Amino acid sequence: MIDIIREHRGFGNIIFKLAKVDLIKTYRGSALGWSWAIIKPTVTILVYWFTFSVGLRSPSMVAGYPFFLWLIAGIVPWFYMSEMITQGVESIRGYKHLVTKMNFPVSTIPTFVSLSKMFVNLCMIGIVIVIFILLGYYPDIYILQLPIYLLMSYVLFTSWALFASPLAAISKDFTNLVKAFVTPIFWLSGVIWDSSKVSNPLAEIFFRINPVTYLTRGFRDTFIYKRWFFEDYKGLIVFCVITLIMFILGVIIYKKLRKDIPDVL
């Protein structure tokens, strides 16, 4: 852990520069460039809105807000989570030249990849706020907790990438396994439906320990339900424990595999 902290302190400026490089690399070669970072999630949102509002005829209002606003309040943060689940696991393999051809601190690779995805997420969150304003729903005091949920998302999924990317560098089967679970996680975490209405005891336990559900509810508490993050102190404690466990596992896996990664890549 001390080595990882030292590496991050010594390469702080480079991490931000490489995060920018990762953004450029992602959209390089396309005519619209960075616009795809907005176009792709926008199309996805419209498809889900049409499916649930027109096809499945979901309620037009949720907690006094249009269903469309309720939908984007939860699904926009998911775009960052899903990208980190799938691309975070491939972060080291995607930058194998830094591992094999340079004396580069491998532990910083998941950090700057996660940071580049968070830049896009911040832009999307800003667009969500603008949409709320255009529809007559102005930010209130609860918007102050938005940075807290963004920070919790970043810490959790950066820890996940630190844990998963060394394993994926050693085994491509692990990468395929992770990608196979992205869709089930999406549908089982209440991203586009209200998980709080489920009354099954086992389902409630699952949602309590599911960090994706906690974060999704947190963003909707900020925009829709107007609840502070500390009101659900039990959920906050569970989330912090899971994040800590993920970070510790990431440190352990990184320590065990960092010497083998260059040889495998």
125-136 pLDDT, tens digit per residue, is 998 999 899 888
Which of 244, 105, 91, 98 lies closest to 166, judged by CA?
91
What's the whole-model pTM score?
A: 0.89
The mean predicted confidence, pLDDT, of the chain is 86
Confidence of residue 58 (pLDDT cuts 50, 70, 90): low
Least confident of 27-36, 70-79, 149-158, 198-207: 27-36
Q: State the SS3 of 6-55.
A: HHHHHCHHHHHHHHHHHHHHHHCCCCCHHHHHHHHHHHHHHHHHHHHHHH
Phi, psi for 66 (deg, rounded to 5): -60, 145
pLDDT (average), residues 103-128: 88
C-beta of residue 251 within 8 angstroms of C-beta of residue 163: no
More reliable by pLDDT, 1 or 67: 67
What percentage of residues in the chain have a pLDDT greater than 90?
A: 42
Compute the distance between CA of residue 203 and CA of residue 195 in angstroms, rounded to an integer. 9
pLDDT at 222 over 80: yes
**Which pLDDT does position 30 carry in this prediction?**
61
CA distances from 55 to 28, 59, 72, 153 (A): 37, 12, 18, 32
Domain boundaries, the chain: 2-264
Q: Is the dihedral of CA 211, 214, 220, 221 positive or negative?
A: negative
**Which pLDDT does position 167 carry in this prediction?**
92
Confidence of residue 85 (pLDDT cuts 50, 70, 90): very high
**Which pLDDT does position 171 carry in this prediction?**
87
